[in-house]
Structure 1
Amino acid sequence: MAAAKAWMRADLARRLPLSTGPLFSYALFRLGPEHFVWYLSAHHIVADGHSGALISLRVAELYSAAVKGRDPAPEAYGSLRTLLENERRYQRSDACAADQAHWAGRSAEQLRPTRLAGTPSGTPDRNLTETGRLAPAETTPLRTAARQARTHWSVLLIAATAAYLHKMTGERHVVLTLPVTARPDAELRTVPVMLSNALPLHVEVRPEESALDLIRKVSREFRLLLRHQRHRGESLSRSFGLHPRRAS
């Protein structure tokens, strides 16, 4: 397993040439007679996390069908044409206009991410990843608190992060960049492609308010963000000049 993980880390560290490709990588590691690890990676320009789930489910269906000696279920992927037609309808829709109006009503202060470190000078040359796991007993208080606040446990984590950033930076207006699928309808959820989005969540943190007040603010802003998640985050960055300045 250690050798397989080392190979995967090295593969993920490779720079993929956009002009020549390939922009994806697969591997199957045999760790023992009945122990295999399947590896899938793809450049973010062609696939997102939701696409990875779609591909994995299809591979599982093909594998299960082969093991059981049956025909696999028909492929349920939507086509690229489906995606393009959906996007054309969206661009002409009231939903698109509402999304544009929602984000146009924000200020740069409500969109610029709050940072613990300085502004990055460019693309980093390496990735740092830290993974932790919570035991079921450790998540029970979190879920209980979320039920008491009538919200999802993820909102509590977002609120805690906002409070932490406020304490560490002194910023009253805290902005977090949150990943979203940008697939609000069932048709889009069938297409394995790059659609995920990153949008700012702004919350004003006031020391005189309670934790419950902050949670309610975050919950309200999070619902609004999800309602207007299809508007592209990169478009916001261009419109408001939010791209980091490179060091001279």
Structure 2
Amino acid sequence: MARDLERPVDLSVDPCVRAAVLRLADDHVLLYLRAHHIVLDAFGFSLFNRRIAERYSAAVAGTEVAAARFDSVESVIREESDYRDSADFDADRDFWNAYLDGVDEAVALRPGPGGIARRSRGTRFTLDADRQRGLVALGKEVGASWGDAVTALVAAYLRGVTGREDLTLGFPVMNRLGSAALRVPITAVNVVPLRLNPTASATLVEL
């Protein structure tokens, strides 16, 4: 599985989805499922996995599987096309163009071609109860959420590492609210930017 995940997918010839059932014992079976991000995002993956679980559970129980509740990909394309032909699209484009005016080139935290690594490595940090209470308290102090406090911490870290005072953080958003894509396993996630200007002397509360 690790080797498969590390191998780049050639979209011209390789399948975008690969699955394997791994039987480790009579009572221990794993499902390996890999999908290219061009076809599934995290929410789409959850819809896909839920349907697999429904079919598997029905097969184990010997019951009839419920009909799929998916909408069509065409409904998502139609909704996107309608949006692009609307005044909302023009207004949104103008807003984001103005918001991002003057943004510098991206700074890579890790050297490499284009600053992009073929293989990513995640670092997980679990907040213990005391740290989480501290972030909640910090948020309340300035009328914000603890998530806002985490964002401020990330901005302070990036300011220290890069020396930049014009930072743009990308936040993945579901991009499905009230849309047909809520019922279709596809990629619809969007990334919206948040611009911050943390000076070297900025306190966490100010951020």
Structure 1 residues 122 and 146, CA, compared in 2 at 3 Å: closer, same or farther?
closer
Matches of 1:63 and 1:82, distance apart in 2: 27
Whether contact under 8 Å (1:176, 1:201) holds in the other structure is: yes
Matches of 2:64 and 2:91, distance apart in 1: 45
Structure 1 residues 82 and 100, CA, compared in 2 at 3 Å: closer, same or farther?
same
Whether contact under 8 Å (2:22, 2:29) holds in the other structure is: yes
Q: TM-score, normalised by structure 2?
A: 0.83
Larger helix fraction of residues: 1
Determine which of 106, 116, 121 is the counterpart of 2:109. Answer: 116
1:18 is aligned to 11
1:221 is aligned to none
Determine which of 153, 158, 168 is the counterpart of 1:175. Answer: 168
2:124 is aligned to 132
1:144 is aligned to 136
Q: TM-score, normalised by structure 1?
A: 0.71
Matches of 1:75 and 1:189, distance apart in 2: 14
1:89 is aligned to 82
Secondary structure of 1:202 counterpart: strand
CA deviation digits over 1:43-72, x for unaligned, max 9?
122222211111011111112222223222
Whether contact under 8 Å (1:112, 1:175) holds in the other structure is: no
1:51 is aligned to 44
Query: Counterpart amino acid of 2:73?
Result: L
Structure 1 residues 142 and 112, CA, compared in 2 at 3 Å: closer, same or farther?
farther
Matches of 2:138 and 2:179, distance apart in 1: 28
Please tell me whether residue 187 in structure 1 is matched to residue 169 in structure 2: no
Q: Please say which of residues 166-175 and 101-110 is displaced more in the overlay.
A: 101-110
Give RMSD over aligned pairs: 2.6
Matches of 1:146 and 1:72, distance apart in 2: 49
What runs of 5+ residues in structure 2 fail to find an aligned partner? Answer: none
CA deviation digits over 1:65-122, x for unaligned, max 9?
2222322222111211101110122112233222111111134543643443457437
- Taking only the aligned residue pairs, the percentage that are identical comes to 30
Matches of 2:128 and 2:29, distance apart in 1: 27
Matches of 1:72 and 1:136, distance apart in 2: 42
Whether contact under 8 Å (1:113, 1:174) holds in the other structure is: no
